[in-house]
Structure 1
Amino acid sequence: MLTQSVAGRTYDYDYNVGSRNMGIAISVAFGAGDIVYVLSRQHEQLADVPWNKTAVHAKVGKYEVPDTPGAEELLFEFGKYGDGDGELVWPTGITTDSDENVYVSDEWLNRVSVYNPDGELLSTWGRAGTGSGEFNGAAGIAFGPDETLYVVDSLNHRVQKLTKDGAFIGQFGSLGADEGQFDSPWGITTDSDGSVYVADHKNHRVQKLDSDGSYIMTFGSFGAGNGQLNRPSDVTVDPEGDVYVCDWANSRVQIFDATGKFITTLIGDAVEMAKWHKQQVDSNADVLKARRRVRTLEPEWRFALPAGVDYDPAKKRIVVSDSQRWRIQMYRKDPDYIEPQYNL
């Protein structure tokens, strides 16, 4: 479905995948072929457990997401709620390495868990603190082109650089609003040149830095207008250098070119329900009746506090973790589309 064509770029809505069983989709990572790993968690309630919280789930789902809508399949899930080895409490970031091992950060447990493609735990590293290799709110996680691992240390207001095995390399950032400083940073990505992009959550901006943390430029400013941001939660970059920012509190994704110029906005286009959502709705007569009484279903098409945005280079897909709708929504950037010329 052609969504919009602007500034020499065309964005086609692809389709969406999800169900209530997916939970709150936080972020995704990609494997070989059609594989998408969806990191999710669930609303929590107070309970008599050591950390005074309990959750329906915290997990990673390994999905096969082909080009054909409705052909998606959940292969299996791994990780579960808890503080034991391989368990998760507040999973926040996910990425894969060149061997398709899966790295998951946890902002409550202040650690990174590493799994193989079959979901088996390989290692866990990190602990709470302010020292090298320690975290206070481990958040976004991404590999650079040299397989340096960048982990956002949100409440320490910094980014740490580590090896694949968790050995400390370096860090950059401090609390503040100046260039190169952060306030509760969240998502992170890198580009093919090794530049690092950080969603500077409470400063309402995205900062681009070099691999050592030297400031390059800023995307966005506080607000709800075009090119403005309200608590951005994630960022990704496509091969042409366009930057996609998950504008969390504005419930949208903003797109900028490599110079920081605003291009357009995605707001969600899930007119057709995901197949598992549809099965759940169709099985409940009361829900079907209630939906008939609604004047418009358009609000459910749109993003609701999207938490993550990621670019899949193999599929040329922009994948948005639509957290409060228990789904991911997918778009494609079509570089070959040409607007037809009409002679009237």
Structure 2
Amino acid sequence: MNLDQLIGMLGREADSLLSHESKAVPKDWLHLPSPQFIDSVYGPSDRNPQVLRSLGNLFGAGRLGGTGYLSILPIDQGIEHSAGASFAANPLYFDPENIVRLAIEGGCNAVATTFGALGFVARKYAHKIPFIVKINHNELLTYPNKSDQILFGTVQEAWNLGAAAVGATIYFGSPESGRQIVEIAKAFDEAHRLGMATILWCYLRNDAFKAGTDYHLAADLTGQANHLGVTIQADIVKQKLPETNGGYKMLNLGQSSYGKLDERMYTQLASDHPIDLCRYQVLNGFAGRAGLINSGGASGANDFAEAARTAVINKRAGGTGLISGRKAFQRPFEEGVKLLHSIQDVYLMPEVTIA
């Protein structure tokens, strides 16, 4: 994909997204992705040399290898959304080998999936593409369904599979989040001791966050989730792209008292522009020291355009890349490869600069 094709995909938003200058949080405040990112940011940290090597494997693989950016294929929807619902669009992916094949042929830095999936293909592929083992999930077979992330295996098992990193989800804001924070903090500590990197899905989950507008996608709440995630030493945080702001304000209407806010969060550190909203997420990841990867979202009719838009926003905000699954695997294999390449093209495109 070239610049003209990207502009065509972005349509009426092209000028706004490609020409925006972020004045709320200047890029000079941030630690931005670069080929030297591991040396300059992770290197001085307490991460041991084995973790640095694992991060080097992640950042050195695929079409974006050596750029400081990441393109990751995540497929844990067989558990998170039920296998039938996830793979009916393309039953090829009931076989986990095809998940790994898609990540390799799609030029990804890594593949993120389950213990079971990677366990069946570890000896064939662990040395060909970095593995990220997703260690917890929200299973949807309990009736009625509940929102809780539970561990499906151990960090030691992930290490035995040859993983470069472990991934986990915390549902911040949920009644179970306290237990999840303790579990994953312990898991991340063990992963670092064993030499693996850590990636946290910093998701929000609480029915109270839906009040006409879905504040699960608010920059202020997702930004704070990121801040909690890096506090338990996530090397990389995964977050949904923000679509609104003011979650704290909404939850503090009436007589309630929720969290803490400062009006400058909205007037000085953000604006209504999608790049500025995403930059607030980056800022909360220790000013970009922990890379922000945004999720690609559900599959739909305009996947290529939506994926390109998300990549532009993430890159121009100072983010570290995209982790996109359903848009790629819920379509024919070759189309999935093409979509992953189109995402990567945005990060390889010099005309798409940091705002």
TM class, shorter-chain normalised? Answer: 0.3 to 0.5
TM-score by length of 1: 0.34
Higher relative contact order (CA 8 A, sep 6+): 2
TM-score by length of 2: 0.33
